[in-house]
Structure 1
C-alpha cells in the first residue's frame, strides 16, 4: 500500500519545486526588465553627480569572474544565487540610503529593493545547512559589516551593472 504513494509523493514534490522555480523566474524576469541598460544608465549614472561613488565592502563587489572562481571550487548554483541575492540586497540598501525621497532614482531603487525582498522570501527556508561554507562565510561578513572590512568606492551604475551580469549568468539556463 505504501509503495503506491511513493510515485505520487515524488510527483507532488516535483510540482512543488516547479511552482517555486516558476515564481522565482517571474521575479527574475521583472528584475531583468528593471535592470536593462537604459534604466541603469539613467537612474544610476545620469541622475547622480559626476563620479559619485558609494562605499561598499570589498565582498559586495560581486563580478562574473568571482562567480566563475566559486564554480571552479564546486560551489552549487543555489548557493551562488543566495550569495548574489544577499550581496545585491545590501548594495541596493546602501545606494537607497544616500538618496533623498525626491531624488529621481529614489523610486527606481525602492522598486529594486522590493523585488529583492520578494526574491528573498523565496529563499527564506534556505538555511545554513544548505549553503556551502564558503558562501555562508561571505554572506555573514557582508551582513555583519565588520568595521575592519576593507571598503571600496564604487559608482552605483557599476554596482548595478555587476548585479545584472551576474544575474544573467546565474539565471539564464533556469529562467529562459
Structure 2
C-alpha cells in the first residue's frame, strides 16, 4: 500500500513537472507578452511615421551600441562569457530608451511623428515596468558580465564625454526596425504564434545561441 502511494505521488510530481516544463524553458516571463505585443502593434506603423515624415536619407547621431541588431546579439552570445538572456533583455531596454529619446529630441513640437514616438516611449516604459516586476530584485543586483557592463557604461555616460569615434549615424526608420527585430529575437516566447516573418526573425536570432552552446560543449 505504501509503495503504491509513493508511486502515485511520483507520478503526480512527474505530471506536474511536464505541465510546468514549457514555463521553465521560457526565456520571457508570461506577464511580459501583453505589453510587448502592444508595443509590437505600435511598431507596425513605423514606416509611416519614421520614413514618410522625414526627409530622404535623414539620419540622427546615436551611440555605436545603439545600432543594436540581431547580428549584435548573435555576436555577444558567441563572445561574452557567462551571458544570460536577461542581460541582453536589460540592455535592449536601455538601448531603445536612448534611441527613442534621441529621435524625439530632433523633432519639433509640431512634428507629425512626435505623438507617435512619445507613445512608443510610454509603451516601452510600461513593458520595462512589467519586466522588472517579473523577476526577484536579486536579478538586477547581480553584476553584469564585463563586456555588457562596458556597453552599459558607454550608453549612460554624458554625451560630451563620448569620443567622436563612438558615434554613428542612422535613420529613424532603421533604428526602429532594429528595435522591432531584436524584440522578436530576445522575447521570442511572446511571438511564437505570430506571422511567418516574425518566426523567421526569431529563428535567425537563435543561431547565435546554438553556436555558442556548441562551442561550450
TM-score calculated relative to the size of structure 1? 0.80
Work out whether 1:137 is the aligned partner of 2:150.
yes
3-state SS of 1:55 partner: strand
SS of residue in 2 equivalent to 1:25: helix
RMSD between aligned residues: 2.4
> Structure 1 residue 153 and structure 2 residue 162: aligned?
no
Retained in 1: the 8 A contact 2:184–2:191?
A: no
Partner in structure 2 of residue 163 of structure 1 = 179
**Aligned partners of 1:170, 1:143: CA distance in 2, in Å?**
22
* Number of matched pairs: 159
2:99/2:175 contact within 8 Å kept: yes
Structure 1 consecutive aligned stretches of length 4 or more whose deviation exceeds 3 Å: none
1:90 & 1:28 partners in 2: Cα distance? 18
Contact 1:128–1:136, Cα closer than 8 Å, also in 2: no
Larger radius of gyration: 2
Q: Counterpart in 2 of 1:9?
A: none
Match of 2:73 among 67, 81, 85: 67
CA shift, 1:128, in A, is 4.6
The whole-number CA distance in structure 2 between the counterparts of 1:132 and 1:106 is: 36
How far apart in 2 are the matches of 1:175 and 1:131? 27
Q: Can you give the 5+ residue segments of structure 2 that lack an aligned partner in the other structure?
A: 1-19, 193-217
TM-score (norm 2): 0.66
